[in-house]
Chain A
Amino acid sequence: MRSKTVVKSVLITTLVLFVILVVHIIWVTRPIRNNAHNIAMARIDFQAPLNDAQGKAITQWLYAQKGVTHVLCNTSSKIAVFTFYPSQVNATQLASQLSRYMQIPATRYLPAKEEIENGCPVISVSTQQKIEQLTHWFIHSVNN
Protein backbone atom coordinates (compact mmCIF):
# COMPACT_ATOMS: atom_id res chain seq x y z
CA MET A 1 0.00 0.00 0.00
CA ARG A 2 2.80 2.37 0.95
CA SER A 3 4.87 1.53 -2.16
CA LYS A 4 1.80 2.31 -4.29
CA THR A 5 1.54 5.76 -2.71
CA VAL A 6 5.24 6.39 -3.32
CA VAL A 7 4.95 5.34 -6.98
CA LYS A 8 1.88 7.54 -7.36
CA SER A 9 3.70 10.55 -5.83
CA VAL A 10 6.73 10.01 -8.06
CA LEU A 11 4.51 9.79 -11.15
CA ILE A 12 2.61 12.97 -10.27
CA THR A 13 5.83 14.86 -9.51
CA THR A 14 7.36 13.69 -12.80
CA LEU A 15 4.25 14.74 -14.68
CA VAL A 16 4.21 18.19 -13.05
CA LEU A 17 7.92 18.68 -13.80
CA PHE A 18 7.35 17.58 -17.40
CA VAL A 19 4.52 20.10 -17.81
CA ILE A 20 6.73 22.85 -16.33
CA LEU A 21 9.52 21.89 -18.75
CA VAL A 22 7.16 22.01 -21.75
CA VAL A 23 5.79 25.42 -20.68
CA HIS A 24 9.34 26.71 -20.18
CA ILE A 25 10.45 25.50 -23.64
CA ILE A 26 7.40 27.10 -25.29
CA TRP A 27 8.04 30.33 -23.34
CA VAL A 28 11.71 30.72 -24.26
CA THR A 29 11.32 29.69 -27.89
CA ARG A 30 8.21 31.75 -28.66
CA PRO A 31 8.64 34.25 -31.48
CA ILE A 32 9.25 37.74 -30.08
CA ARG A 33 7.13 40.44 -31.65
CA ASN A 34 9.16 43.54 -32.39
CA ASN A 35 7.82 46.65 -30.73
CA ALA A 36 8.93 49.60 -28.64
CA HIS A 37 9.63 47.34 -25.68
CA ASN A 38 12.43 45.34 -27.27
CA ILE A 39 14.12 48.05 -29.24
CA ALA A 40 17.77 48.78 -28.48
CA MET A 41 20.18 51.58 -29.28
CA ALA A 42 23.73 51.32 -30.58
CA ARG A 43 26.48 53.83 -31.19
CA ILE A 44 29.22 53.66 -33.81
CA ASP A 45 32.32 55.80 -33.32
CA PHE A 46 34.25 56.75 -36.46
CA GLN A 47 37.99 57.26 -36.15
CA ALA A 48 38.26 59.80 -38.97
CA PRO A 49 36.62 63.16 -39.70
CA LEU A 50 33.27 62.97 -41.49
CA ASN A 51 31.86 65.43 -44.01
CA ASP A 52 28.16 66.03 -44.72
CA ALA A 53 28.11 63.72 -47.75
CA GLN A 54 29.61 60.89 -45.71
CA GLY A 55 27.10 61.60 -42.95
CA LYS A 56 24.26 61.25 -45.43
CA ALA A 57 25.75 58.05 -46.89
CA ILE A 58 26.09 56.52 -43.39
CA THR A 59 22.50 57.44 -42.55
CA GLN A 60 21.18 56.01 -45.82
CA TRP A 61 23.19 52.79 -45.46
CA LEU A 62 21.97 52.20 -41.92
CA TYR A 63 18.35 52.90 -42.83
CA ALA A 64 18.63 50.32 -45.62
CA GLN A 65 19.49 47.55 -43.12
CA LYS A 66 16.71 45.28 -41.94
CA GLY A 67 15.86 45.76 -38.27
CA VAL A 68 17.18 49.33 -38.06
CA THR A 69 14.40 51.73 -37.07
CA HIS A 70 15.91 55.19 -36.66
CA VAL A 71 19.31 56.73 -37.39
CA LEU A 72 21.15 59.93 -36.52
CA CYS A 73 24.68 60.72 -37.66
CA ASN A 74 26.49 63.62 -36.00
CA THR A 75 29.40 64.44 -38.31
CA SER A 76 30.98 66.90 -35.88
CA SER A 77 31.26 64.31 -33.11
CA LYS A 78 31.95 61.49 -35.63
CA ILE A 79 29.21 59.40 -34.04
CA ALA A 80 26.29 57.53 -35.57
CA VAL A 81 23.50 56.31 -33.31
CA PHE A 82 20.65 54.05 -34.32
CA THR A 83 17.87 52.02 -32.79
CA PHE A 84 17.31 48.44 -33.89
CA TYR A 85 15.63 45.15 -33.07
CA PRO A 86 18.28 42.78 -31.65
CA SER A 87 16.20 39.82 -32.86
CA GLN A 88 16.70 40.96 -36.45
CA VAL A 89 20.15 42.46 -36.61
CA ASN A 90 23.51 42.26 -34.86
CA ALA A 91 24.69 45.83 -34.22
CA THR A 92 28.36 44.83 -33.80
CA GLN A 93 28.38 43.12 -37.20
CA LEU A 94 26.57 46.09 -38.66
CA ALA A 95 29.30 48.42 -37.37
CA SER A 96 32.06 46.44 -39.06
CA GLN A 97 30.06 46.12 -42.30
CA LEU A 98 29.47 49.89 -42.29
CA SER A 99 33.17 50.51 -41.63
CA ARG A 100 34.06 48.37 -44.67
CA TYR A 101 31.38 50.01 -46.83
CA MET A 102 32.49 53.54 -45.96
CA GLN A 103 36.18 52.58 -45.84
CA ILE A 104 36.51 54.51 -42.58
CA PRO A 105 37.76 52.85 -39.37
CA ALA A 106 34.81 52.56 -37.02
CA THR A 107 33.85 50.54 -33.97
CA ARG A 108 30.70 49.94 -32.04
CA TYR A 109 30.89 51.63 -28.65
CA LEU A 110 29.85 49.31 -25.86
CA PRO A 111 29.86 50.70 -22.31
CA ALA A 112 31.38 48.59 -19.55
CA LYS A 113 29.13 47.30 -16.76
CA GLU A 114 30.56 49.89 -14.34
CA GLU A 115 29.86 52.70 -16.81
CA ILE A 116 26.22 51.61 -17.11
CA GLU A 117 25.85 51.41 -13.35
CA ASN A 118 26.85 55.04 -12.84
CA GLY A 119 25.67 56.38 -16.14
CA CYS A 120 22.23 57.82 -16.26
CA PRO A 121 20.54 59.62 -13.39
CA VAL A 122 17.15 59.46 -15.09
CA ILE A 123 17.19 55.68 -15.09
CA SER A 124 17.61 55.51 -11.34
CA VAL A 125 14.17 54.34 -10.37
CA SER A 126 12.09 54.16 -7.24
CA THR A 127 10.71 50.90 -5.83
CA GLN A 128 7.25 51.87 -7.05
CA GLN A 129 8.62 52.30 -10.55
CA LYS A 130 10.42 48.97 -10.39
CA ILE A 131 7.11 47.28 -9.53
CA GLU A 132 5.39 49.16 -12.38
CA GLN A 133 8.11 48.09 -14.82
CA LEU A 134 7.85 44.49 -13.70
CA THR A 135 4.07 44.54 -14.10
CA HIS A 136 4.41 46.24 -17.49
CA TRP A 137 6.96 43.66 -18.64
CA PHE A 138 4.77 40.78 -17.43
CA ILE A 139 1.66 42.08 -19.22
CA HIS A 140 3.56 42.57 -22.46
CA SER A 141 5.24 39.18 -22.20
CA VAL A 142 1.83 37.55 -21.82
CA ASN A 143 0.40 39.57 -24.73
CA ASN A 144 3.30 38.63 -26.96
Chain B
Amino acid sequence: MKKAKITLLVAFLGIVLALGSSCKKSNSTPSMPQTLYDSLGGTAMVPDPAMQGAMIEKGRLGIRSVVDSAIFVIAADTNINGYFKVLLQEVSSGNLSGFNALSKNLTDFFCVATGAKNFSYTGKDMVSAHNPATNPRMNGKAMNDDFDSFVADVVVAAKKNGLPDYLIARLGTIINSVRSQVVQA
Protein backbone atom coordinates (compact mmCIF):
# COMPACT_ATOMS: atom_id res chain seq x y z
CA MET B 1 0.00 0.00 0.00
CA LYS B 2 2.80 2.37 1.06
CA LYS B 3 4.76 1.38 -2.02
CA ALA B 4 1.79 2.21 -4.23
CA LYS B 5 1.49 5.67 -2.58
CA ILE B 6 5.15 6.44 -3.19
CA THR B 7 4.83 5.30 -6.80
CA LEU B 8 1.77 7.52 -7.23
CA LEU B 9 3.60 10.53 -5.68
CA VAL B 10 6.62 10.04 -7.91
CA ALA B 11 4.37 9.74 -10.94
CA PHE B 12 2.52 12.94 -9.95
CA LEU B 13 5.76 14.87 -9.44
CA GLY B 14 6.99 13.59 -12.79
CA ILE B 15 3.85 14.86 -14.53
CA VAL B 16 4.11 18.25 -12.78
CA LEU B 17 7.77 18.61 -13.77
CA ALA B 18 7.03 17.54 -17.35
CA LEU B 19 4.15 19.99 -17.64
CA GLY B 20 6.26 22.75 -16.06
CA SER B 21 9.11 22.25 -18.47
CA SER B 22 6.77 22.03 -21.46
CA CYS B 23 4.97 25.23 -20.37
CA LYS B 24 8.33 26.95 -19.98
CA LYS B 25 9.23 25.98 -23.52
CA SER B 26 5.98 27.21 -25.00
CA ASN B 27 6.20 30.55 -23.15
CA SER B 28 9.74 31.38 -24.24
CA THR B 29 9.87 33.43 -27.46
CA PRO B 30 12.17 32.00 -30.10
CA SER B 31 15.31 34.14 -30.32
CA MET B 32 15.32 36.15 -33.56
CA PRO B 33 18.67 36.13 -35.35
CA GLN B 34 20.28 39.58 -35.18
CA THR B 35 20.39 41.39 -38.51
CA LEU B 36 23.70 42.68 -39.82
CA TYR B 37 22.33 46.19 -39.33
CA ASP B 38 21.73 45.42 -35.64
CA SER B 39 25.22 43.94 -35.33
CA LEU B 40 26.61 47.25 -36.59
CA GLY B 41 24.80 49.20 -33.90
CA GLY B 42 21.22 49.20 -35.13
CA THR B 43 18.92 52.11 -34.41
CA ALA B 44 20.87 53.57 -31.48
CA MET B 45 21.33 57.28 -32.22
CA VAL B 46 24.86 58.73 -32.23
CA PRO B 47 26.27 62.11 -33.34
CA ASP B 48 26.95 62.26 -37.09
CA PRO B 49 30.64 63.10 -37.59
CA ALA B 50 29.90 64.39 -41.11
CA MET B 51 27.18 66.83 -40.08
CA GLN B 52 27.65 69.02 -37.04
CA GLY B 53 24.71 68.84 -34.66
CA ALA B 54 22.98 66.00 -36.52
CA MET B 55 22.32 62.53 -35.17
CA ILE B 56 22.47 59.27 -37.11
CA GLU B 57 21.59 55.64 -36.44
CA LYS B 58 24.73 53.76 -35.42
CA GLY B 59 23.99 50.99 -37.92
CA ARG B 60 23.68 53.51 -40.76
CA LEU B 61 26.89 55.24 -39.69
CA GLY B 62 28.70 51.88 -39.81
CA ILE B 63 27.33 51.13 -43.27
CA ARG B 64 28.09 54.64 -44.55
CA SER B 65 31.67 54.45 -43.25
CA VAL B 66 32.26 51.24 -45.18
CA VAL B 67 30.51 52.62 -48.29
CA ASP B 68 32.55 55.85 -48.23
CA SER B 69 35.80 53.92 -47.84
CA ALA B 70 34.71 51.55 -50.63
CA ILE B 71 34.10 54.52 -52.94
CA PHE B 72 37.72 55.61 -52.46
CA VAL B 73 39.02 52.10 -53.11
CA ILE B 74 36.82 51.77 -56.22
CA ALA B 75 37.81 55.21 -57.55
CA ALA B 76 41.45 54.11 -57.51
CA ASP B 77 40.74 50.62 -58.88
CA THR B 78 41.28 50.62 -62.64
CA ASN B 79 39.30 47.36 -62.96
CA ILE B 80 35.98 49.06 -62.29
CA ASN B 81 36.50 52.80 -61.84
CA GLY B 82 35.33 53.32 -65.41
CA TYR B 83 31.79 52.69 -64.19
CA PHE B 84 32.05 55.35 -61.51
CA LYS B 85 33.31 58.44 -63.31
CA VAL B 86 30.38 60.44 -62.01
CA LEU B 87 32.17 60.38 -58.68
CA LEU B 88 34.55 62.96 -60.02
CA GLN B 89 31.82 65.43 -60.84
CA GLU B 90 32.20 68.58 -58.81
CA VAL B 91 29.57 70.46 -56.87
CA SER B 92 27.97 73.14 -58.98
CA SER B 93 24.87 75.32 -58.77
CA GLY B 94 23.81 73.76 -55.48
CA ASN B 95 23.79 70.21 -56.86
CA LEU B 96 24.96 67.45 -54.62
CA SER B 97 28.32 66.15 -55.70
CA GLY B 98 28.65 62.78 -57.38
CA PHE B 99 30.44 61.55 -54.28
CA ASN B 100 27.61 62.48 -51.96
CA ALA B 101 24.89 61.16 -54.27
CA LEU B 102 26.66 57.82 -54.71
CA SER B 103 27.39 57.56 -50.99
CA LYS B 104 23.74 58.19 -50.10
CA ASN B 105 22.37 55.81 -52.72
CA LEU B 106 24.70 52.93 -51.84
CA THR B 107 24.22 53.54 -48.10
CA ASP B 108 20.43 53.42 -48.51
CA PHE B 109 20.73 50.22 -50.52
CA PHE B 110 22.99 48.46 -48.01
CA CYS B 111 20.95 49.72 -45.03
CA VAL B 112 17.82 48.11 -46.45
CA ALA B 113 19.70 44.96 -47.51
CA THR B 114 21.21 44.52 -44.04
CA GLY B 115 17.90 44.87 -42.20
CA ALA B 116 17.36 48.57 -41.45
CA LYS B 117 13.72 49.48 -40.93
CA ASN B 118 13.83 53.28 -41.03
CA PHE B 119 15.28 53.76 -44.51
CA SER B 120 14.21 52.96 -48.02
CA TYR B 121 16.10 52.53 -51.26
CA THR B 122 14.41 54.53 -53.99
CA GLY B 123 16.85 53.90 -56.83
CA LYS B 124 16.30 51.49 -59.69
CA ASP B 125 16.12 47.77 -58.93
CA MET B 126 19.38 45.88 -59.48
CA VAL B 127 18.34 44.27 -62.78
CA SER B 128 17.09 47.51 -64.38
CA ALA B 129 20.00 49.56 -63.00
CA HIS B 130 22.57 47.23 -64.59
CA ASN B 131 20.81 46.57 -67.88
CA PRO B 132 22.04 48.91 -70.67
CA ALA B 133 18.63 48.51 -72.36
CA THR B 134 16.75 49.97 -69.40
CA ASN B 135 19.46 52.21 -68.03
CA PRO B 136 21.30 54.36 -70.59
CA ARG B 137 23.87 55.23 -67.91
CA MET B 138 25.10 51.64 -67.95
CA ASN B 139 27.60 51.69 -70.79
CA GLY B 140 27.90 47.91 -71.07
CA LYS B 141 26.89 44.72 -69.33
CA ALA B 142 28.79 44.01 -66.12
CA MET B 143 31.00 40.92 -66.12
CA ASN B 144 31.65 38.46 -63.32
CA ASP B 145 35.19 39.86 -62.99
CA ASP B 146 33.77 43.36 -62.45
CA PHE B 147 31.56 42.05 -59.69
CA ASP B 148 34.49 40.21 -58.09
CA SER B 149 36.48 43.46 -58.11
CA PHE B 150 33.55 45.27 -56.50
CA VAL B 151 33.29 42.67 -53.74
CA ALA B 152 37.07 42.76 -53.18
CA ASP B 153 36.99 46.57 -52.90
CA VAL B 154 34.15 46.46 -50.38
CA VAL B 155 36.08 43.89 -48.32
CA VAL B 156 39.15 46.15 -48.34
CA ALA B 157 36.95 49.03 -47.18
CA ALA B 158 35.31 46.92 -44.46
CA LYS B 159 38.73 45.88 -43.16
CA LYS B 160 39.87 49.52 -43.15
CA ASN B 161 36.89 50.25 -40.90
CA GLY B 162 37.79 47.44 -38.51
CA LEU B 163 34.83 45.20 -39.28
CA PRO B 164 35.43 41.69 -37.87
CA ASP B 165 35.75 38.84 -40.35
CA TYR B 166 32.43 37.22 -39.43
CA LEU B 167 30.55 40.47 -40.24
CA ILE B 168 32.53 40.89 -43.46
CA ALA B 169 31.47 37.35 -44.40
CA ARG B 170 27.81 38.25 -43.79
CA LEU B 171 28.21 41.43 -45.84
CA GLY B 172 29.83 39.39 -48.61
CA THR B 173 26.88 36.98 -48.59
CA ILE B 174 24.43 39.89 -48.95
CA ILE B 175 26.39 41.42 -51.83
CA ASN B 176 26.75 38.06 -53.56
CA SER B 177 22.99 37.54 -53.35
CA VAL B 178 22.53 40.21 -56.06
CA ARG B 179 25.34 38.95 -58.31
CA SER B 180 22.94 37.27 -60.76
CA GLN B 181 20.94 40.52 -61.04
CA VAL B 182 24.00 42.71 -61.62
CA VAL B 183 26.03 40.41 -63.89
CA GLN B 184 24.00 40.12 -67.08
CA ALA B 185 26.74 39.33 -69.59
Asked if A86 CB lies within 8 Å of chain B CBs, one says yes
Assuming the contacts A39-B99, A122-B105, asked whether A70 and B72 have C-beta atoms less than 8 A apart, the reply is yes
Are B122 and A129 in contact, with the CB atoms below 8 A? yes
Interface members, chain A 79-124 (any B CB < 8 Å): 79-81, 83, 86, 91, 109-111, 115-124
Are A124 and B124 in contact, with the CB atoms below 8 A? yes
Asked if B177 CB lies within 8 Å of chain A CBs, one says no
Assuming the contacts A72-B76, A119-B139, asked whether A36 and B86 have C-beta atoms less than 8 A apart, the reply is no
Interface members, chain A 39-88 (any B CB < 8 Å): 39-43, 70, 72-74, 77, 79-81, 83, 86
Asked if A5 CB lies within 8 Å of chain B CBs, one says no
Are A111 and B89 in contact, with the CB atoms below 8 A? yes
Asked if B51 CB lies within 8 Å of chain A CBs, one says yes
In this complex, what residue of A is CB-closest to B52?
Answer: A35
Assuming the contacts A43-B88, A123-B137, asked whether A37 and B100 have C-beta atoms less than 8 A apart, the reply is yes
Are B98 and A41 in contact, with the CB atoms below 8 A? yes
User: With a CB–CB cut-off of 8 A, which chain B residues contact A79?
Assistant: 75-76, 78, 81
User: With a CB–CB cut-off of 8 A, which chain A residues contact B91?
Assistant: 38-40, 86
Are B94 and A118 in contact, with the CB atoms below 8 A? no
Asked if A1 CB lies within 8 Å of chain B CBs, one says no
A interface SS class: mixed
Q: How far is the CA of A120 from the CA of B122 in the complex (A)?
A: 16
Asked if A133 CB lies within 8 Å of chain B CBs, one says yes
Q: How far is the CA of A55 from the CA of B172 in the complex (A)?
A: 29
Q: How far is the CA of A124 from the CA of B124 in the complex (A)?
A: 7
B97 to chain A, nearest CB (A): 5
Assuming the contacts A41-B75, A41-B98, A83-B99, asked whether A116 and B89 have C-beta atoms less than 8 A apart, the reply is yes
Asked if B138 CB lies within 8 Å of chain A CBs, one says yes
Q: How far is the CA of A124 from the CA of B138 in the complex (A)?
A: 9
Interface residue ranges, B against A (CB under 8 Å): 50-52, 68, 71-73, 75-78, 81-91, 94-103, 105-106, 109, 122-124, 129-130, 135-139
Given contacts A36-B51, A120-B84, 8 further A-B pairs with CB under 8 A are A38-B97, A40-B90, A72-B76, A77-B77, A109-B88, A117-B136, A124-B129, A126-B123
Chosen A-B contacts, 30 in total, with CB atoms closer than 8 Å, are A40-B97, A41-B75, A42-B88, A43-B75, A72-B72, A72-B73, A72-B75, A74-B73, A81-B72, A81-B75, A83-B99, A86-B90, A110-B88, A111-B85, A111-B88, A117-B137, A119-B137, A121-B130, A122-B105, A122-B109, A122-B123, A123-B98, A123-B102, A124-B123, A124-B124, A125-B105, A126-B124, A132-B122, A133-B101, A137-B94
